[in-house]
Amino acid sequence: MGILDAIQTGLAELFSHKLRSMLTMLGVIFGVAAVIAMVSIGEGARQEMLQQIKSMGIDIVQVRRVMITGELMETAQKKSPYGLKYSDAEGISSVCTYARRIVPVREIFADIKRGDKPLPVQVVGTTPDYSSILKLQLQSGRFLNEGDLKERSCVCVLGSNARKQLFGFEDPTGRTVKVGMRLLRVVGVLEYKEKSESRAFSSLRDVNSDIYMPLSIAMTDYMIQSQQQMPMTYRGVRDLFMKMITRTSLDKSPISEIIVQLKDESATEATAEVIRSILNRAHRDVPDFEIVVPSLLLRQSQQAQRIFNIVMAAIAGISLLVGGIGIMNIMLATVSQRTREIGVRRCIGATRWDIVRQFMLEAMVITCLGGLIGVLLGVVGARVISVFAGWITVVSVRAIILSFGVSALVGIVFGLYPATRAAMVDPIDALRQG
């Protein structure tokens, strides 16, 4: 019997017991589908992480302000009353001479309304280098420049969502926006920038909802956003009022974030440690800041993703193992039922290898057909997960080939023992039993 004849025999045996064959294939079907679906989720998460890192930049280090609460607040008020401040950016600049750009950022608290309705936009004071670090593209007009900082120009740049909230689809260039008590002239509008909803990179801001103004105005004319969240006693209100009147010196002016872009992307982790040492000394060991290294986040996320993939592969492997045991069980039953057929074939000249090959091919027909169905279900399942769960899934050819190859291997491994047992049947005893 040739290979094609053996395959035809296997298919005939498969379709002669449809329910039994389907139940036998379920383990392989679910195992293969699980492998494809899980690998697709993992690949989608990996690409999402890479996209986020590309947006953040693997050559930057972020230093973000942290609000102190509870028992540490009194200590923080004595040792580091201003938290992260403008002088910290200058201190980092004086030490990190290998930094390409150092950009202080101040998120301010200011009412912005359209009619009587407050708008969900964030006002940010920053410098011209901010657009270069975050790779912001202009839709119209220009970004902030050095002249705006020096002259304290009342200008602003709108993110795409902020533009829609304030002006709809009209061109806002040259028009004014009331930010708090000031009127700012719009000099530019940014292109929309994709932002993933992944929780892995919560430090990545949504630039589409931002309004950017010169840092020089933000530091002197507005409260930093975190100040309006602080508990206000009478003394606190008085102190805050006095600070607003005297216009706290720029060096002590609180800021929300410092972004450091390096010339060498491989030095981010070492630079983060240097910055931590500088700020710990300046803040007298008060933990009122946090350092975010995107490249380190990527490595940690990839490690977590590898663990996730291993766990999912183990679960899919267990399903395939159960499916393989089921196939072995059915093949052993098939050998018992077809003992007379085996005896007849041996008597007319079939060798033991012919018997082994026939039953091995029949087992592989079952697993390969189950593998094909599993591939189809896995691809459909990945799509369903993407639509209903909102996750990014990427079905790769490598995952399909791997899972289908594993299903074929299951047929070989778990079909070998039943095939060998069939080949060892004595022809005379087989005919006598039949």
pLDDT digits (tens, 9 = 90+) for 301-352: 777 777 877 877 777 778 778 888 888 888 888 788 777 877 877 787 778 8
Q: Is residue 233's pLDDT more than 60? A: no
pLDDT at 2: 58
140-157 mean pLDDT: 94
- For residue 171 the two structure tokens come to 């061109």
* 377 confidence band (pLDDT: 50, 70, 90): very high
- Judged by average pLDDT, the poorest of 95-99, 272-276, 348-352, 425-429 is 425-429
Using alpha carbons, select from 114, 116, 61, 56 the residue that is nearest to residue 89: 61
223 against 13, higher pLDDT = 223
* 115 confidence band (pLDDT: 50, 70, 90): low
pLDDT at 196: 54
Q: Is residue 117's pLDDT more than 60? A: yes
Tens digits of per-residue pLDDT, 389-408? 878 888 888 888 888 888 88
- Give the total residue count for the chain: 434
Q: Is residue 296's pLDDT more than 50? A: yes
- Judged by average pLDDT, the poorest of 16-20, 91-95, 132-136, 229-233 is 229-233
Dist. CA 265–CA 60, nearest whole Å: 7
Cα angle value 406/410/413 (rounded, 5°): 130
Task: Give residue for tokens 């379920």.
Answer: 26
| Residues 365/424, Cβ–Cβ less than 8 Å | no
77 against 9, higher pLDDT = 77
Q: What percent of the chain has pLDDT over 90?
A: 19
Q: Is residue 136's pLDDT more than 50? A: yes
283-303 mean pLDDT: 80
Q: Is residue 162's pLDDT more than 50? A: yes
pLDDT at 111: 81
pLDDT at 147: 94
| Residues 257/194, Cβ–Cβ less than 8 Å | no
pLDDT at 158: 95
* 195 confidence band (pLDDT: 50, 70, 90): low
CA 285 to chain centre: 33
Q: Is residue 8's pLDDT more than 90? A: no
Dist. CA 291–CA 257, nearest whole Å: 10
Query: Does the pTM exceed 0.75?
Result: no
Dist. CA 364–CA 348, nearest whole Å: 25
- Judged by average pLDDT, the poorest of 36-45, 191-200, 210-219, 376-385 is 191-200
* 125 confidence band (pLDDT: 50, 70, 90): very high
* 419 confidence band (pLDDT: 50, 70, 90): confident
Tens digits of per-residue pLDDT, 49-93? 777 776 667 788 889 988 877 777 777 777 777 788 888 998 898
pLDDT at 376: 92
Distances (CA, A) of 192 to 90, 201, 207, 301: 32, 19, 8, 26
413-423 mean pLDDT: 85
pLDDT at 6: 60
The average confidence (pLDDT) of the chain is: 80
Distances (CA, A) of 16 to 9, 19, 20, 341, 408: 10, 9, 9, 16, 22
Residue type, 155: V
Q: Is residue 410's pLDDT more than 70? A: yes
221-229 mean pLDDT: 66
* 286 confidence band (pLDDT: 50, 70, 90): confident
Q: Is residue 234's pLDDT more than 80? A: no
Q: Is residue 430's pLDDT more than 90? A: no
